[in-house]
A and B are shown apart, each in its own frame.
Chain A
Amino acid sequence: MPTYTFTLNGRSVSVDAPSTMPMLWVLRDLLGVTGPKYGCGVGVCRACTSHLNGAAFTPCTTAVSDCAGKKVTTIEGLANGSTLHPVQQAWLDEDVAQCGYCQPGQIMAAAALLKSNKKPTDADIDAIQNVCRCGTYARIRAAIKRAAGE
């Protein structure tokens, strides 16, 4: 079985896995990193959204071999120690979460958006595809705007 090395939340890790294994199961089942959640396994609900070299990606549809040598960040690695990322803080300030299951993915999607777009418009926010079955969309929108300093 091949070995893959990548940076996970700031630390170098190596894992033995079949090349096609989806990153979601590498993270959850082999590395015990449970922040990214399974919601569909086919990239449509985006509950597992994390960052690959700083951009949003869905580990459920990304093979471990495609992450080799890259920087992988999950919700566990977003904060700077005990200081929350501005998007996490905005999520607290707006009390966004309900069941919370999709929220790691929502936060990672929002953080990636704000990294490339400092002042997203409503239309930009509409383009986020992550499903929230509790329907927290209005507070997600408010939290993104708060994190953007609006």
Chain B
Amino acid sequence: MGHFDRALGRRRFLTALVAAPTLTVAARLGADALAPAAAGAVVPSPAQPADLTDFGDLMAAATAAETSLLVLQVTTDNRVVFQLPRAEVGQGVTTALAMIVAEELDARLSDVDTPLSDARSDMGLAQSTGGSTSVRSLWDPVRQVAAAARARLVTAAAQQWNVDANTLTTHDTAVWSPDGRSASYGSLSAAAAKVLVPAVSTAPKSTSAYTVVGQPTTRVDARDIVTGKARYALDQPVAGALPTVVARPPTINGTVVSYDASTAKTMPGVVAVTQIPTGIAVTAQTFGQAMDAKAALNITWGAGTIDSVSDSDIQGNLAAATPPLAPVLTPYVEGTFNFAFVSHAAMEVLTAVADVRSGSAEVWTATKSPTGAQSAVASAVGLSTNQVTLHVVRGGGSFGRRLFYEPAVEAAQVSKAIGRPVRLMWTRNDDMRHGRLRPRSYHRVRAGYALGNVTTYQHQMASVTVDFSGSDTGTLLANDGYASPTIGTAFFGISEACPYNFGVVTEALTEVTYKMHTGSWRSVYSALARTAEEIIVDELARAMGQDPVAFRLQFLKTDAERAVVSKVASAGNWGQAMAAGTAQGVGFHQEYRSRAACLVNIDCTTSTPRVTRAVLAVDVGRPVNPKGLQAQAMSGLMDGIATVLYAGNHLKNGAVVEGSYADFHYPRQATAPRQVDVYVLPATGSTPGGAGELCVPAAAAAVANAYARATGTKPRNFPINF
């Protein structure tokens, strides 16, 4: 370890040279305490907690607080390698972070690699992925580590050429002198590794000099994906890893009373049948044979944990648990809303490969909580954490699901029991019936108005408890003192805020716990609470004789918020004449230090309503990859359409009814809009806000409001076609 650069930037991170034969620079995190971002305008509604500190601030603080190293390396073959301590599940962080590295280092994007870091117990919670925080939390330290590396490469070139370092420039992964000489970073790496005091500034460049960040950029893994080379957990070439599936109970959390595997064990290809805490695992030469043998098991199942519970019981209990709203003396609008359970239903089912041996284990899985998974595997098979190597591999979607890591634990249990490496897969039925669900929720909302102003806004939400335990999100909140009274209400407090000047605002969450598998689902509470709120906004506008867009422009708190609404209104031709049974609707959301608006056209003239056109505008403060941001907006749009119109899960006598995409109606081409336009607003600030979850609430609200206007109804129960 050598020289430490002077601290720089809004958040300061010391960088350090790592003793290595080639240039390896690390951001030694933990250089200072994090100041919460400044509060926005709060008059006349006072600031709510989420206005002051949100989950992204906590995540950035955790990233900064860990005394671990973010490592960037320049290899002799001219590759720039940044070990990314995050999960890639489609949200595009490998591309966004490669762009940030390329920008600060003046490297070609094609020379930058961003492999996913193995679980690093030294990094702990700072390695978790969630809450739309990845770019936000890595922006400052990664820019600084790359800028420090560049300074050393320039210094090494100056020493070799015996010229003033300040006369040299960098581009295309090389240092250049005024006389036209150049040296690739790879050729300079060994010399740069010996530079203790850079001769040029180690400060990140000015945003005005950006040529990569802010440019629409194709995913760095796009070609691997379209050629079939992209490898998910089950595609990893782990020699001898045997296909394994698990017979699971008929109801949630049911247990094995007894089982007879005598027939299954005689079936072709079957290698082993193993009881694990969650069911009976069958291991075979192929998944087809494992599934056939699973079907031949004769299992007596004990009761589950909620066998007497169905949707109607939960809805009744949620309503009973919800505190009454205060009476208001003014005119008011109000509504009660119900949102069904929703599976994450990622395309790639839950999977893991595990090879447990005496004294060590190796695991491959897509998880957003790698250090949590590593320690869970260790304790499940009786090893210490440092005996478990956990490789984070790309995931086929998450939407919150991969905050948990059940398949890694199950695969390790089976591998230990049979002494062979295994590749374990949940079937689609497993995923939908025993996987996690966005909890059912119930909402009471009342807004009073007088003399052209909204004077009171009350929103009481009751939800089946979201399980944050076992995921890094929950641990992070608990560590930050948010454990009381519950993690869920704490998360609600730091994520939910009414963006409008609605006078006295009251918003609260009540949780009702059932022993079932829940989890945060893309945007957590916001796609529920904010959708209900945006429906009430439209109804307020109607009651007060105003246009929904004009009403939002009047009552939103900031110009930046009004800008995204104005953008979709103009680009979407708001107010255009619409045929009977069709209509437009708008929705707005701000969170993660970002803002989004959505406008949709809906056609309700058939029994399956269809959004025919959508326009979204997003302002993330500082766009890194506009193409990736557009992709996230389109994806959020589809989640809004899905959960408002079609996709939900029924709970009946302790079991989830739906078993696959045949009855869980996530949209397909025929129910997706044919025209979608996304406008990424130019940079309005110096730092990026979050984006992965941003558009779900705005889109869900726009769809619900368009449906209301097209049908003349007040939608209250979601999904509408259920």
Contacts and interface: CB of A to CB of B under 8 A. Distances in A.
A41 interface: yes
Contact of A91 (B226, B289, B674): B226
A29 B288 contact: yes
A103 B286 contact: no
Interface residues of A, number: 59
Contact of B228 (A41, A76, A139, A140): A76
Given A18-B268, A45-B660, A97-B222, A133 B397 contact: yes
Interface stretch (B313-321, B572-580, B632-640): B632-640
A25 B222 contact: no
B347 A133 contact: yes
Nearest to A82: B227
A136 B670 contact: no
Interface stretch (B84-92, B181-189, B200-208): B84-92
A143 to B, nearest CB: 10
A75 interface: yes
B498 to A, nearest CB: 28
Given A21-B286, A84-B226, A95-B627, A138 B676 contact: yes
A97 B226 contact: yes
A107 to B, nearest CB: 6
B110 to A, nearest CB: 14
Given A92-B222, A130-B668, A133-B346, A101 B227 contact: no
B225 A103 contact: yes
A124 B288 CA distance: 33
Q: Interface centre among A30, A98, A135, by most B CB within 10 Å?
A: A135
Contacts of B636: 135
Contacts of B397: 98-99, 101, 133-134
Nearest to A143: B226
A104 B348 CA distance: 13
Contact of A98 (B427, B635, B676): B635
Q: Interface centre among A18, A39, A91, A127, by most B CB within 10 Å?
A: A39
B345 interface: yes
B90 A100 contact: yes
B666 A100 contact: no
B661 A45 contact: yes
B360 interface: no
A138 B672 contact: yes
A127 B672 CA distance: 12
Interface residues of B, number: 64
A4 interface: no
A52 interface: no
Nearest to A108: B228
Interface stretch (B158-166, B230-238, B437-445): B230-238
Contacts of A34: 228, 231, 234-235
B661 A131 contact: yes
Contacts of A134: 90, 347, 397, 631, 635, 638
Contacts of A76: 227-228
B667 interface: yes
Contacts, number: 187
B669 A99 contact: no
Contacts of B218: 92, 95
A39 B669 contact: no
A103 B631 CA distance: 14
Given A41-B428, A88-B227, A139 B634 contact: yes
A26 B142 CA distance: 44
A135 B226 contact: no
B650 interface: no
A99 B348 contact: yes
A104 B399 CA distance: 21
A78 B667 CA distance: 27
Contact of B661 (A25, A29, A44, A84): A44
A40 interface: yes
Interface in A99-147: 99-104, 107, 122, 125-141
Interface in B208-247: 218-219, 221-228, 230-232, 234-235, 237, 243
Contacts of B623: none
A138 to B, nearest CB: 4
A56 interface: no
B395 interface: yes
B425 interface: yes
Q: Interface centre among B223, B226, B349, by most A CB within 10 Å?
A: B226
A69 B286 CA distance: 22
Nearest to B291: A41
Interface in B643-671: 660-662, 666-670
A97 B90 CA distance: 8
B124 interface: no
Interface string B52-96: 000000000000000000000000000000000000011110000
A95 B227 contact: no
B435 interface: no
A34 B225 CA distance: 12
Contacts of A79: 227
Given A42-B660, A140-B669, A100 B91 contact: no
B627 to A, nearest CB: 5
B288 A136 contact: no
A42 B166 CA distance: 64
Contact of B345 (A1, A125, A133): A133
A82 B338 CA distance: 52
B428 A45 contact: yes
A75 B631 CA distance: 23
Given A95-B627, A101-B347, A137 B286 contact: no
B674 A141 contact: yes
A101 B232 contact: yes
B222 A75 contact: no
Contacts of A104: 225-226, 228
B30 interface: no
A50 to B, nearest CB: 10
Interface of B: 89-92, 218-219, 221-228, 230-232, 234-235, 237, 243, 268, 285-289, 291, 345-349, 394-399, 425, 427-428, 627, 631, 634-639, 642, 660-662, 666-670, 672-676
Given A42-B660, A135-B635, 9 more contacts: A75-B226, A97-B90, A98-B397, A100-B396, A101-B396, A102-B347, A127-B670, A137-B668, A140-B669
13 contacts: A24-B288, A37-B232, A44-B661, A84-B226, A92-B223, A99-B348, A100-B224, A100-B230, A126-B670, A134-B347, A135-B636, A135-B639, A135-B672
Closest 8 CB pairs of A and B: A135-B638, A99-B90, A101-B396, A35-B228, A75-B228, A137-B672, A100-B225, A98-B90
Interface of A: 1, 18, 21-22, 24-26, 28-30, 32, 34-35, 37-42, 44-45, 47, 74-76, 78-79, 84, 88, 91-92, 95, 97-104, 107, 122, 125-141
